[in-house]
Structure 1
Amino acid sequence: MEKKLFEAESKRLLEMMINSIYSHKEIFLRELISNASDAIDKVYYKVLTDDTLTFDTDGYYIKIEADSDRRTLKLIDTGIGMTKEDLETNLGIIAKSGSLAFKNENEVKDGHEIIGQFGVGFYSAFMVADQITVISKALESDQAYKWESTGTDGYTIEPCEKEAVGTEIILTIKENTEDENYDEYLEEYRLKEIIKKYSDFIRYPIKMDVSEKRLKEDSENEYEDIKEEQIINSMVPIWKKNKGELTDEDYANFYTEKRYGFDKPLTYIHTSVDGAVRYNAILFIPENIPFDYYSKEYEKGLELYSNGVLIMSKCSDLLPDHFSFVKGMVDSEDLSLNISREILQQDRQLKRIANNISKKIKSDLQNLLKNEREKYEKFYQSFGRQLKYGVYSDFGTHKETLQDLIMFYSSKEKKLVTLDEYVSRMPEDQKYIYYASGESNERIDKLPQTELVSEKGYEILYFTEEIDEFAIKMITAYKDKEFKSVSSGDLGIESKDNETKSDAEEKENKELFDYMKNILADKIKDVRASTRLRSHPVCFSTDGEVTIEMEKILQSMPDNQNIQAEKVLEINTNHEVFQSLKSAFEQDKTKLDLYTNLLYNQALLIEGLPVEDPVDFTNNICEIMV
């Protein structure tokens, strides 16, 4: 028996890897299974160039055996095996990957892509094992060898007996500690769980003897425990099957099996790309919004596979925030992985995949909007707000991507409409896309500010969510049409006659309006004669970019900076109330004070703003009544 020490660099790497490289100890089993799969693939490649060899798929598998009494976990493969030189090269020098070298020398044959990239995966087993024993017999070799190590002290290699070609890895599992339960890696259900999680789509059968209860023969109620060999993994991933062979039910079952949500998928996207970067992806739009979607606990991201092996459960880099509701997976053989296969290098391939996926999601949502309107509206009820947040975030960077996907309730259509649909119906004389903001469609329907716009026959978009106006401010204009609030000081639709009449009324009633403005002091910016009101006596309009709805939202934030809209109190000079104002101005200034405060509070209530002094307000009402 020959005792050898790891090279100094390898020893330091092993110590670092055991303590920090891998984020979850369970990863060790994924790594060993991936290595075993590579070993079988190497036989396949060998057969392609050697007529004396055959590849019978039934003879190739990976077997897991756990012995809790001996505290050993054994992994057996029927792959190419290793010579003494292979053991020294691949296991004696950490980060030396035989699979990677083999991969670089061989092209993909019939989908048999070597998984291995770096030679540290094997050593991840030291996270759970005190000792590792490898017994291997190489293809076309008569001699088997045993490699053994207890960690950083080094390893031994000696000849041994082994009948079949392939490799056995025997882990002596550590004893439990206060912080770690190592027994779980000897438990049947836990091993099955890890295999299904990370290695479900390894192309060769992963076998285990599984315990089951069965009814005894000739018995109606007596059961016996038996062990039966079962294949644990699915082997062929759904994304590598022919799309024409798959049904909606197959995709729905995959969604459920992968636990992407407790609901059903509203729709799915199955895409395969074979170009500058190769990948397969299955993406799902959930039917319902997750309960924790707008909480800190929610994690966006897609499952990321490399050749069918799960690398990350939540790869957030694959999804932009505005599409964070998308669930699913991506499998690529082109990604550059670090030595633990867990952390992606930020390379161009990953960014290309992410960009392609974002474009594909947008394209499919547009198709859904065009061809399955009812289904799209159901999606929008759940995730429309997120799209609007996406328009607003990053200073409008993504507005071009999202503006054709957002919708608002229409005053004319009485349903959700897109911006494109709105603009396509605009009369030639209409300059702006008009909108009104409020707590609900019903409240907006009753807003006095909508009267002139509606009278002109113009459509109004209803903004009922707090993000709506902020998002629109980022878009600024759609197809060269700017957005205009119905509360804006200048609606851009007054006729020349109206303008002349308004100017005349302002001049004629300047003293009255100045007096009312003085009464309200710093509460408003101005008092003006209204051109927008028809049946209502009073309303607020606003000058500047901040509307009253925006003010309410900003004021409700914890770190608000007391940003306020520049409110203008507009008086309907055609309303009979105005005659009372003029009369009071000429005969009873005390009554005018009362009227002014009442009208101001009335305007506040219309906007859903709190009356500043409810007691004074009610007293004023009583004073008018007596």
Structure 2
Amino acid sequence: MKQFKTESKKLLDLMINSIYTNKEIFLRELISNASDALDKLSFEAIKNPDLGVDQSTLAIRLSFDKEARSVTVSDNGIGMTKAELDENLGTIAHSGSEQFREANADRQGEDIDIIGQFGVGFYSSFMVATKVRVVSRALGADEAFVWESDGVRGYSIEPAGEGERSGAEEHGTDVILFLRESSESDDTDQYLSEGGLRDLVTRYSNYVRHPIQMMVTKSRQKPKPEDAPDDYKPEYEDYQELDTLNSMTPIWKKRQSEVKQEDYNEFYQSTFHDWSDPARTVSFHAEGALSYDALLFIPSRRPFDLYSKDYEKGLALYSSNVLIQEKCADLVPDYYNFVHGVVDSPDVSLNISRETLQQNSQLRAIARRVEKKIHSELEDMRDNDRESYETFFENFGRGIKFGIYNSYGMKAADLADLLLFWSAQEGKQVTFAEYADAMPEGQDKIYFAAGDSRERLEQVPAVRSALDHGFDVLLCTQDVDEFMFQVMRSWHQDGTEGDSEHEGAKERDLELANVANADLDFATDDEKAEAEKATSEHQELFDDLKESLGDKVTSVRVAAGLGDAPATIASEGPVSLEMERVISQGPDADAASAPKAQRVLQLNATHPVFAKLVAAKEAGDKDRLALLGSILYDQALLVEGLPVDDPVEFARNVAKLM
């Protein structure tokens, strides 16, 4: 018995138990080797037509034997001589396919599509097998040889027995795996069934360019006997038929003009398990120093687990039509995690197991192109199919917003123009550009309000005040909105956004301003003058109210332009009222350490309630003043959608007032 070259036992044990993490890929590796053998024969046939090779008969054949617990992968490819068996299978990490590919690099992808690279895929067989037997006859050779090993003590090479590829036309290779016994942790029985092998082929090798065939059991109705009675019930029988298990030609290799949208829809639904058609389909191809094919789908509906911790983003990555990763997260950024699709490239650098990728410039270059394509498709949908885009944004816009927030605003220049917000003035969704185009002369800010619902925000005094004074307000109801605005700070209009005929369109930076900020004032000059007068005349009233409310507020003041609202709560500093609410409702919220907004109680000096406050102050009734101040504070909180500090006390105070 020959010993493996190199420190075989250590290396083979390390490889079998460490390189591969998923045992079921053994079939992918053996099919890939068989495909390489067929490609080598095809190449020889092209160079030498006298060989008389009928390329239409080239195929990979699978079979299994439950009693012998064996799985066989056969091909009628170029085969191996005794010396090649010794060199290719006896030398770990020697790749005959890689040598062949390097020698014929100018034809790779044209007449041949060699998959093998590292010379270790064959040994993945020992993850599931106790013994592997390889029978191979080289093209034009006089006899076949058998390589056999248990993966531990070495290997042997002997002449093949009678009936084992004995004819000159029987060139090719049989790889026979004798499987381990099944256990709770290692179910090898699944590979001894038609369904088990078909599933592995469909998952990993569906697009290998050669047919992968297997005899399968089918059922058919028996002919009806001539003398069958009137109540005859049809009878069925099982029969065996050679079936092709793989699709061979991947849809992403075809030009978009060659494929009907119905075919894309069918592929999308079956591959990504969605009952809806995609909203958009993007197919593109790149050739040159870095070649790849990509097929992307923007879903029309949000998966139920999109925002759960169990959701996995990523595109399916293939190399030469062989699945490498079902979800390659590096190919798509987090904010486009909803995109499904396939990328197939023979040029990406794989690691030795082909289960993961080496981080390299090729992968990053593909990812950048994918991102640009997605962005371009979304812009086209926004501009030319607004109804569909609004549906898309309702489903996936939160992730795009989080992409801006999570990048600390660095992605704002790329993503901000994809955002949509509800315009309180227009009563519809608008972009930043559309908001800016409609601003009145002299407005230099984009105003927004954040809360849990549009209906409530429309009734907030600050929003009504802005609208009453001619300023539109973006109503933001997602938890990430205000956090995103804080890292953005402003939106840049480059002068070409929106309506090009709008006279006010020019390059400028527009500050993003929360209408609930205490420093924001929409009042007219007359309203401001009236508020200043009330402030100077009733400063002691404000001081008394501040004292009675204690640390609930940082100050009490008059605000102009509040309309019919008696009072409102505003905030100062970096934490707004809405941010406080969102943080307090988080899963890890800690009431003691959570940041609090600096609250300001703003009073409307033109409202009849203010006169009641003044009367209580002039009468020296501190208790009534404190009562009125507490009720006004709690009412203002309720209007803002915030809980009152003490509901029992609030109810008691209302009862006292009544």
Q: Deviations over 1:89-128 (max 9, x none)?
A: 1101111100011111112252632111110111111111
Deviation of 1:455 (Å):
2.0
Q: Conserved in 1, the CA contact under 8 Å of 2:527 and 2:561?
A: no
2:583 matches 1:554: yes
Give the residue type in structure 1 aligned to 2:201. Answer: I
The residue aligned with 1:611 is 644
Matched residues in 1 for 2:38 and 2:349: separation?
Answer: 23
Structure 1 pair 351–111 and aligned structure 2 pair: CA distance change class (3 A): farther
Matched residues in 2 for 1:359 and 1:203: separation?
Answer: 30
The residue aligned with 2:42 is 44
Give the residue type in structure 2 aligned to 1:295. Answer: S
Matched residues in 2 for 1:402 and 1:275: separation?
Answer: 30
Match for residue 421 of structure 1 among 431, 434, 439: 434
1:250-329 matched pairs, under 5 angstroms: 250-329=263-342
Give the residue type in structure 2 aligned to 1:150. Answer: D
The residue aligned with 1:85 is 83
Deviation of 1:613 (Å):
2.6
2:196 matches 1:190: yes
Matched residues in 1 for 2:48 and 2:32: separation?
Answer: 25
Q: Conserved in 1, the CA contact under 8 Å of 2:571 and 2:598?
A: yes
Q: Conserved in 1, the CA contact under 8 Å of 2:219 and 2:237?
A: yes
Matched residues in 2 for 1:196 and 1:143: separation?
Answer: 35
2:615 matches 1:583: yes
1:371-410 matched pairs, under 5 angstroms: 371-410=384-423
Q: Conserved in 2, the CA contact under 8 Å of 1:90 and 1:97?
A: yes
Give the residue type in structure 2 aligned to 1:460. Answer: V
Q: Conserved in 2, the CA contact under 8 Å of 1:43 and 1:79?
A: yes
Q: Conserved in 1, the CA contact under 8 Å of 2:6 and 2:91?
A: no
Deviation of 1:503 (Å):
2.8
Matched residues in 1 for 2:412 and 2:523: separation?
Answer: 31
2:175 matches 1:169: yes
The residue aligned with 2:548 is 519
Q: Conserved in 1, the CA contact under 8 Å of 2:40 and 2:112?
A: no
The residue aligned with 1:507 is 536
Matched residues in 2 for 1:570 and 1:530: separation?
Answer: 5
Q: Conserved in 1, the CA contact under 8 Å of 2:317 and 2:327?
A: yes
2:565 matches 1:536: yes
Q: Which moved more, 1:231-240 or 1:101-110?
A: 101-110
SS of 2:131's partner is strand
Matched residues in 2 for 1:486 and 1:38: separation?
Answer: 67
The residue aligned with 1:204 is 210
Q: Deviations over 1:464-512 (max 9, x none)?
A: 1111100111111112001111111222544544444433322111111
Q: Conserved in 2, the CA contact under 8 Å of 1:6 and 1:152?
A: no
Structure 1 pair 239–603 and aligned structure 2 pair: CA distance change class (3 A): same
Q: Which moved more, 1:358-367 or 1:16-25?
A: 16-25
Matched residues in 1 for 2:289 and 2:401: separation?
Answer: 32
Give the residue type in structure 2 aligned to 1:135. Answer: V
Matched residues in 2 for 1:111 and 1:281: separation?
Answer: 22
Q: Conserved in 1, the CA contact under 8 Å of 2:42 and 2:55?
A: no
Q: Which moved more, 1:40-49 or 1:561-570?
A: 40-49
Matched residues in 1 for 2:130 and 2:557: separation?
Answer: 85
Matched residues in 2 for 1:116 and 1:149: separation?
Answer: 21
The residue aligned with 2:28 is 30
Q: Conserved in 2, the CA contact under 8 Å of 1:62 and 1:75?
A: yes
Q: Conserved in 2, the CA contact under 8 Å of 1:260 and 1:328?
A: no
The residue aligned with 1:97 is 95
Deviation of 1:147 (Å):
1.1
Matched residues in 1 for 2:537 and 2:151: separation?
Answer: 96
1:343-382 matched pairs, under 5 angstroms: 343-382=356-395
Deviation of 1:403 (Å):
0.9
Aligned-residue Cα RMSD (Å) equals: 1.7
Q: Structure 1: where are the runs of 5+ without partners?
A: none
Matched residues in 2 for 1:562 and 1:521: separation?
Answer: 19
2:599 matches 1:601: no
Deviation of 1:208 (Å):
0.3
Matched residues in 2 for 1:111 and 1:139: separation?
Answer: 19
Deviation of 1:230 (Å):
0.6
Q: Conserved in 1, the CA contact under 8 Å of 2:6 and 2:92?
A: no
SS of 1:169's partner is strand
The residue aligned with 2:127 is 127
Q: Deviations over 1:220-270 (max 9, x none)?
A: 522111111011100100011232121111011101221343443222211
Q: Which moved more, 1:294-303 or 1:54-63?
A: 54-63
Q: Conserved in 1, the CA contact under 8 Å of 2:637 and 2:643?
A: yes
Matched residues in 2 for 1:224 and 1:259: separation?
Answer: 35
Deviation of 1:148 (Å):
1.2
Aligned length: 623
Give the residue type in structure 1 aligned to 2:59. Answer: Y
Q: Which moved more, 1:319-328 or 1:52-61?
A: 52-61
The residue aligned with 2:143 is 143
Deviation of 1:52 (Å):
2.3
Structure 1 pair 439–605 and aligned structure 2 pair: CA distance change class (3 A): same
Deviation of 1:562 (Å):
2.6
Matched residues in 1 for 2:115 and 2:523: separation?
Answer: 70
Q: Conserved in 2, the CA contact under 8 Å of 1:77 and 1:166?
A: yes
Matched residues in 2 for 1:54 and 1:284: separation?
Answer: 44
Match for residue 253 of structure 2 among 222, 235, 240: 240
The residue aligned with 1:437 is 450
2:262 matches 1:249: yes
Report the TM-score, using the length of structure 2 for normalisation.
0.92
Q: Which moved more, 1:264-273 or 1:345-354?
A: 264-273
The residue aligned with 2:499 is none
Q: Conserved in 2, the CA contact under 8 Å of 1:389 and 1:471?
A: yes
SS of 1:532's partner is coil
Deviation of 1:327 (Å):
1.2
Deviation of 1:622 (Å):
2.5
Matched residues in 1 for 2:18 and 2:585: separation?
Answer: 44
Q: Percent identity?
A: 45
1:53-92 matched pairs, under 5 angstroms: 53-92=51-90
Q: Conserved in 2, the CA contact under 8 Å of 1:148 and 1:157?
A: yes
Q: Conserved in 2, the CA contact under 8 Å of 1:519 and 1:593?
A: yes
Deviation of 1:355 (Å):
1.6
